[in-house]
A and B are shown apart, each in its own frame.
Chain A
Amino acid sequence: MAVLSAWRVARVTPLGELHTPPRMTAALLRLTVQIVLVASLWRGLYHATGTTAGLDRDQAVTYAVLAVLASRVRELDQYSGRDTVLQHMHFGTIVYWYLRPLPPQRYYALRALGEQVYGFAWALAGYAVCLAAGVVRPPGSAAVAGVFALSLLLGQLVMYYVMLVIDQLCFWTLRNGAAIMILIFAQNLLSGVYAPLWFFPDWFITLSAFLPFQATLSVPLSLYVGRIPLSDAGFQLAVQAGWVVVLALFTRLLWRRAARRVISQGG
């Protein structure tokens, strides 16, 4: 029964997407064009350059294309579904999250799980096409593939908790539009979506080492392309796991505090 209700909650957003074919067509077109543009850009940049920042042309193209695919994992139009924390706080409907037989934290986690699995299916299909077309290189070995998969999973968990913290911010600030935008930019910049972190100055790499963003994308992709050798993978995975634990505890605390701030019908 619990599994059935979990399934029903998790499939809400994917079902919403599947019932809007124009949005899916647009997503497909956008993903295709973005991959072509990004691959062309990095090939063009490497035209007169050999290896730079420890990355050769194929590694850089693979990294950039995988970053585009990975950014697809949680890129759904949640606002249209009218089920964001921001909207519930604005309209006062957040109180229903606390009146249902399902705890709000579990509801939020199940919705996010559904979204991430749906986005992952897109990313996986895109990866298969890119691999077949020779746009991206396959992983160096089975061990690299395994470590990459584990690192990607941990990265998605970190991503989930970071998004959750931003949503929980609404309980105190009522609005989180700016915080979400800051998060998206920070995430894109500090996780290496715009450009692999290896191209950035040393101070920038050091700074991002103290933040959770590089654990979301830069680490798994660097492991995949071989920029982080397998011998260093243990440490990187431990850092990612550390972020998962810290953020899980922090968000748990915030859920507890947030519940005290929800007022129903004026008191």
Chain B
Amino acid sequence: MSLNALRIIWRVTRLNFRAQLEYRSEFLMMIAIGAIWQVSVIVFATVLLSRFTGMGGWDSSDVLLIPATRMLAHALFVLFLGRMHGVGRHIQEGRIDTYLVRPMPVHRQVQLEFFPTNAIGDMTVAVGLMVGALSRSQLDWTAGRITYLIACLIGGMLLEAAMFTVVASASLRFPAADYWSRWLEELLGTFGSYPLNVLPRAVGGFLTFGLPLAFVAYFPAAVLTGHGDSTGVPYWLAAASPLLGALAYLGARLLWRWSLGHYTGVNG
């Protein structure tokens, strides 16, 4: 990406931010929505942790690292790549057709569609939870562990982006496929915040290989807290979660490019 492209991205983002300020009550509520969404996940996780102690053989301070990782990865996704969620509406309204004739990659235009105000709330709560989780953790936070955690956060962000990009690619062919993105978000929120070994093996397998939700936070947290051998998958696979996230995102972007090449608007 050239320096000029970065300058344009920065300018458009600033304009988008100012545009969000046009509706002040909506702007404030969007920040609140990000915070509320994250808090609801925290409350749910806390309730389960307090009622069902020793969940899946994990100590509660270790379990807390799962929602913290997932939520921070999710907040990063919302901030940087989140516009893939709901791209079906751009397709339904024919905006993609306009993007195709502009001198900027379509994916970038989609990402620059609007400023994600809710990411401010998302990020605030997620950082707060991560700080809380790290302060309660009994682990020795060496430079290696911290580096791995950062890699996992980026990997989690990319993996979540990959899943939504796949749905967005499907939406280019079947606009109603956008319906799945709402479900995907719901599944990530509900089942991404605790050890998946409490679930039956088949269900855990579905959330690992069918929908790779386990790689976002569960496997990284398991590796960090020493539960990497009891996840039901080989240790190396669990440890490679950040790498898998990056590969999945790369694959999803290739799929997006291919789908865009085969896109036909309403006029054929």
Among A40, A48, A49, A175, the residue within 8 A (CB) of B199 is A40
* Contact residues of B: prevailing secondary structure: helix
Interface presence of A182 (CB below 8 A): yes
**Cα–Cα, bound, A125→B137 (Å):** 46
Interface presence of A189 (CB below 8 A): yes
Asked if B32 contacts A26 (CB within 8 A), the reply is no
Asked if A195 contacts B48 (CB within 8 A), the reply is yes
| Set of chain A residues within 8 Å of B36, measured between Cβ atoms | 182, 185-186
**Cα–Cα, bound, A80→B89 (Å):** 9
Do A189 and B43 contact each other (CB < 8 Å), given the known contacts A37-B191, A47-B198? yes
Asked if B180 contacts A45 (CB within 8 A), the reply is no
Asked if B26 contacts A177 (CB within 8 A), the reply is yes
Interface presence of A200 (CB below 8 A): yes
Interface presence of B183 (CB below 8 A): yes
| Set of chain A residues within 8 Å of B48, measured between Cβ atoms | 45, 195, 199
Asked if B47 contacts A181 (CB within 8 A), the reply is no
Interface presence of A41 (CB below 8 A): yes
Among B29, B44, B203, the residue within 8 A (CB) of A178 is B29
Type the 1/0 row for B78-109, where 1 means its CB is closer than 8 Å to any CB of A: 00000000000100100000000000000000
Interface presence of B52 (CB below 8 A): yes
A binding-site residues for B, Cβ under 8 Å: 20, 22-23, 26, 30, 36-37, 40-41, 43-49, 52-53, 77, 79-80, 173-175, 177-179, 181-182, 185-186, 188-189, 194-195, 199-200, 204
In B113-150, the 8 Å CB interface with A consists of: 118
| Set of chain A residues within 8 Å of B174, measured between Cβ atoms | 22
Asked if A45 contacts B179 (CB within 8 A), the reply is no
13 contacts between A and B (CB under 8 A): A22-B176, A40-B200, A44-B200, A45-B52, A45-B55, A173-B25, A178-B29, A178-B118, A179-B29, A181-B118, A182-B36, A185-B36, A194-B190
Interface presence of B54 (CB below 8 A): yes
| Set of chain B residues within 8 Å of A46, measured between Cβ atoms | 52
| Set of chain A residues within 8 Å of B29, measured between Cβ atoms | 178-179, 182
B-side interface size class: 20 to 34
Asked if B26 contacts A175 (CB within 8 A), the reply is yes
| Set of chain A residues within 8 Å of B191, measured between Cβ atoms | 37, 41
| Set of chain A residues within 8 Å of B89, measured between Cβ atoms | 79
**Cα–Cα, bound, A47→B195 (Å):** 14
Interface presence of B236 (CB below 8 A): no
Do A26 and B180 contact each other (CB < 8 Å), given the known contacts A44-B198, A175-B23, A189-B40? yes
Asked if A178 contacts B33 (CB within 8 A), the reply is yes
Asked if B92 contacts A80 (CB within 8 A), the reply is yes
Asked if A182 contacts B43 (CB within 8 A), the reply is no
CB-CB nearest in chain A for B29: A178
Given contacts A43-B200, A200-B43, 4 further A-B contacts (CB under 8 A): A22-B174, A23-B176, A174-B23, A194-B44
**Cα–Cα, bound, A10→B26 (Å):** 31
| Set of chain B residues within 8 Å of A199, measured between Cβ atoms | 47-48, 51
Asked if A40 contacts B55 (CB within 8 A), the reply is no
Among A22, A49, A185, the residue within 8 A (CB) of B33 is A185
Do A181 and B33 contact each other (CB < 8 Å), given the known contacts A44-B200, A48-B54? yes
Do A30 and B183 contact each other (CB < 8 Å), given the known contacts A53-B51, A195-B48? yes
| Set of chain B residues within 8 Å of A23, measured between Cβ atoms | 176, 179
Asked if A188 contacts B40 (CB within 8 A), the reply is yes
Type the 1/0 row for B32-73, where 1 means its CB is closer than 8 Å to any CB of A: 110011001001100110011011000000000000000000
**Cα–Cα, bound, A30→B174 (Å):** 17
CB-CB nearest in chain A for B32: A182
| Set of chain A residues within 8 Å of B32, measured between Cβ atoms | 178, 182
